[in-house]
Homo-oligomer: A and B are copies of this chain.
Amino acid sequence: MITHTVAFKLKHPAGSAAEREFLAKGCRLAEIDGVENFRCLRQISQKNPYDFNFSMQFADQSAYDHYNQHPDHQNFVQNVWLPEVADFLEADFVEMENGLPSPAQEN
């Protein structure tokens, strides 16, 4: 299981209709085959520069690749994300074996 997240802030004013429309479009990424546990979150720590976060899970790298290459995702990136997002940071997470990295795992 891979957890894929992206924290972001928008060019739109907080509370604007354009903000809500962007988020509504983003949340529809949940409908792409293989996307699990999609969450559309508000980021509230003042120690962090981003305002929102999309989080989703994939069973494996193949499901993740399918999402990345899906026309609905690519259309969203080109026509909604790139024009409307001011800054962002992606992060992907996997569980560690026994909650800890393996001694053999050296990157």
Contact = CB atoms under 8 A, between A and B. Distances in A.
Copies in the complex: 2
B15 A104 contact: yes
Interface residues of A, number: 39
B24 A100 contact: yes
A41 interface: yes
Query: Which of A2, A7, A24 has the most chain B CB within a 10 Å cutoff?
Result: A7
Interface of A: 2-3, 7, 14-15, 17, 19-20, 23-24, 27, 39-45, 47-48, 50, 53, 55, 89-96, 99-101, 103-107
Contact of A14 (B53, B100, B106): B106
Contacts of A92: 43-45, 48
